[in-house]
Amino acid sequence: MNLQNEHAEVRKRLSLYVAGALDADEESSILKHLATCTECAAELERWQSIAGALRGLRTPQPSAALFARTGAAAEARLIEQAEQRHNRKVLILLVVFSWAVTLAGWPIFRFATGGVLSLLDLQFREMWILFAVFTAFTWLAGGSAAVLLSARHRQERRLA
């Protein structure tokens, strides 16, 4: 590495050296360079004076109001995340319930409509249309239940 590149690299790292953010190998490399380079040693002194002045400054503290607002915002976010998890679980249960009702309902529907339709003498050759309508109503009922449960959950949360 030529001298110009070495100066540039050392100068880039001097602020990190003063802050103590370098590993032992990098520190030894910088100390080795500083032993032979007065320009970089002078630059190090400037960085050390800046660091000393910064250490002397008072650390700003957040106001009590900011602290309270931040805590309230974090708590609201945690509650929101818990509600989202709850809503996902309810939705999954409703989908599973809807599928279970649909699958269990097919044999019941065939039996019921076969018996009723033969008494009424109606000729529905395509039973799947009736079953699709039945399924749509089942899913609509499940979706309505999800909306009602969500509204109730939000109302309970507002009251708490």
Compute the half-sphere exposure of residue 38: CA atoms within 13 Å on the CB side of its CA.
0
Checking if the pLDDT of 65 tops 70, the result is yes
The model's confidence at residue 83, banded by pLDDT at 50, 70 and 90, is confident
Q: Which own/partner contact pairs does 155-160 have at CB distance under 8 Å and 24+ positions apart? A: 157/79, 157/83
pLDDT value, residue 38? 86
What does each C-alpha distance from 10 to 1, 3, 19, 33 come to in angstroms?
12, 10, 14, 8
Checking if the pLDDT of 64 tops 60, the result is yes
Q: Where are the domains of the chain?
A: 3-56, 65-159
Checking if the pLDDT of 114 tops 80, the result is no
User: Bigger pLDDT: 68 or 136?
Assistant: 68
CA 4 to chain centre: 47
pLDDT value, residue 57? 85
pLDDT value, residue 124? 52
User: Bigger pLDDT: 11 or 115?
Assistant: 11
Distance between CA atoms of 157 and 63, rounded to whole angstroms? 29
pTM: 0.41
Checking if the pLDDT of 75 tops 90, the result is yes
Checking if the pLDDT of 123 tops 70, the result is no
Burial of 142 per CB tally in 10 Å (0-12, 13-18, 19+)? buried
